[in-house]
Structure 1
Amino acid sequence: MSSPNVRILKQHLLSDNWYVLKKIDFELQRRDGSWQPQTREVYDRGNGATIGLYNRARRTVILTRQFRIPAFVNEHHGYLIEAAAGLLDNASPEERIRLEAEEETGYRVRSVRKIFDAFMSPGSVTERVHFFVGEYQPEDRINDGGGLAEEGEDIEVLELPFAEALAMVDDGRIMDGKTIILLQYLKKLIPVSPLMILLTGADEQARACAASLLLAGHIPVPAIWPGQMSQAAAAHDADEYTRLLVKRCDAVLCTGATSPHTSRLVELAQQYDVAVYRDVSEIPATVTHHPDARPSASII
């Protein structure tokens, strides 16, 4: 990668023992146009991948606990609770995270989905981390996990209620950055607060779905344009109202027969990255809606 605003002057190899540590002399063009010489140490350990393993129906997540010497020497007991992760080592991100999930947790996940990349410590470390999520089922566990002893790994596998994992972030029991990011993302998949669910149709099925959503702790919103009641709105005004409605809601639930209006709602939902459900059973209840949402963690 090159940039007209950066001039690399010299690179000094400081260590090639575990990974590669270099001192880099460079010039950076400031916003006023002047060039400023700088020197930084850069640690290259390759790129990595991590995954948030979750079960939507059980409202649980799979995490690990292992000893980290850098945390230990920085006034911590060293045992960090983390999401499964590993360096790519010349594998593709998806291939690597499947292998790491199985190696560390014992789960062979059927489907994984990449959500984004992130530089975790860009002031000194080159690593780009590929973030994934994947839903696990109890039958997906094919071994005990625990990592590889020859690589110094002694990993404890934890199955935690999602609400408990979030509480552990709040009280400092979870301090690993990638894990905190994944848990925050999983709030979209395991709701902790009521969602506004846009319901298509106005038939008996839609009314039954609305009742089910209320019982699950969510807020059903009928997809009815006011002009349907007054018969006095122009078509483009109705479409603009529908756009605003879809953008404001958290998901769309399609009920009843498919219609042009339903198809338009789905199209807009996909355009605005709003979740689309085909059955009310696909929508998890809110975590806080359940009195048993925070039992103690279990080691599995």
Structure 2
Amino acid sequence: MTTIYQGKRLSVELRRVDLPNGTSKETIIIHPGGAVVMLPRDGDDCYLIRQYRPALGDYIYEAPAGTMEDGELPEETADREMVEETRLRAGTLIPRGIINTTPGYTDEVLHLYEARDLRPADDHHPDEDEVIEVIRLPIAEAEEMARDGRITDAKTICLLFRCRE
């Protein structure tokens, strides 16, 4: 194993792996750390964010999400990120499982939550490098946006599916 890059949030390694069929190959693996995604819900409505993503050079609709800090539990990250990105705090977090984002080259795991019993958060401290607009809309409209392509973010589409009633 050779570390090619070590950054604040992620590392990239070159590794030789033995495959189940007996062959081996050299591969790149990205280790971004764990993250959480939340779908804040209030009755028949949900909250999404419209966020500028520099990698895409555009705004996209997505569920609030964030990276876990060292030693932080997923539920703690969910609480912190909900406040940072939506100015809301969830009274109840319902686990909706995990997803592997792109297992062809990364070991990233996202913890999915449905956030209920929402209340305003007074301790809102947004990240300076995030450009976010909070949007409240009917859950049925969010699902339609996922179907018709207005929502292209995979984690959000997965979470909308996992939270269907």
Q: Give TM-score scaled by structure 2 length.
A: 0.91
What per-residue deviation string (whole Å, max 9, x for no partner) do you get for residues 190-229 of structure 1? xxxxxxxxxxxxxxxxxxxxxxxxxxxxxxxxxxxxxxxx
What per-residue deviation string (whole Å, max 9, x for no partner) do you get for residues 142-175 of structure 1? 35968311xx112111111112111111221101
Partner residue in 1 for 2:35: 48
State the distance in 2 between where 1:102 and 1:23 align.
Answer: 37
Q: Contact 1:118 / 1:129 at 8 angstroms: preserved in 2? A: yes
Q: 1:113 aligns with which of 65, 76, 94?
A: 94
Partner residue in 2 for 1:3: none
Partner residue in 1 for 2:15: 24
Q: Contact 2:12 / 2:30 at 8 angstroms: preserved in 1? A: yes
Give the Å deviation of 1:69: 2.4
1:169 aligns with 2:153: no
State the distance in 2 between where 1:180 and 1:146 align.
Answer: 27
1:157 aligns with 2:134: yes
Give the Å deviation of 1:70: 2.6
1:141 aligns with 2:120: yes
Q: Contact 1:14 / 1:21 at 8 angstroms: preserved in 2? A: yes
The code of the aligned residue for 2:162 comes to Y
Q: 1:15 aligns with which of 1, 5, 9?
A: 5
State the distance in 2 between where 1:134 and 1:55 align.
Answer: 9
What per-residue deviation string (whole Å, max 9, x for no partner) do you get for residues 73-93 of structure 1? xxxxx2111111111112100
Partner residue in 1 for 2:80: 99
Q: Contact 1:147 / 1:154 at 8 angstroms: preserved in 2? A: no
Q: Return 5+ residue gaps in structure 1 as ranges.
A: 1-10, 73-77, 189-300
Structure in which a larger fraction of residues adopt strand: 2
Q: Contact 1:23 / 1:42 at 8 angstroms: preserved in 2? A: yes
Q: Contact 1:68 / 1:80 at 8 angstroms: preserved in 2? A: yes
The code of the aligned residue for 2:127 comes to L
What per-residue deviation string (whole Å, max 9, x for no partner) do you get for residues 89-142 of structure 1? 1210011101100111000111112121111111111111111111144xx123
Q: Return 5+ residue gaps in structure 2 as ranges.
A: none
State the distance in 2 between where 1:52 and 1:160 align.
Answer: 12
The code of the aligned residue for 2:86 comes to T
Q: Report how many aligned residue pairs link the two structures.
A: 163
Partner residue in 1 for 2:65: 85
State the distance in 2 between where 1:146 and 1:154 align.
Answer: 13
Q: 1:67 aligns with which of 52, 61, 66?
A: 52
The code of the aligned residue for 1:27 comes to D
Partner residue in 2 for 1:261: none
Q: Contact 1:107 / 1:141 at 8 angstroms: preserved in 2? A: yes
Q: Contact 2:83 / 2:125 at 8 angstroms: preserved in 1? A: no
Q: Identity percentage over the alignment?
A: 27
Q: Give the 5 Å matches for 1:1-300.
A: 11-18=1-8, 19-30=10-21, 35-56=22-43, 59-72=44-57, 78-90=58-70, 91-137=72-118, 140-143=119-122, 147-149=126-128, 152-188=129-165
State the distance in 2 between where 1:165 and 1:144 align.
Answer: 28
Bigger Rg over Cα: 1
- Asked which structure has the greater RCO (Cα within 8 Å, sep 6+), the reply is 2
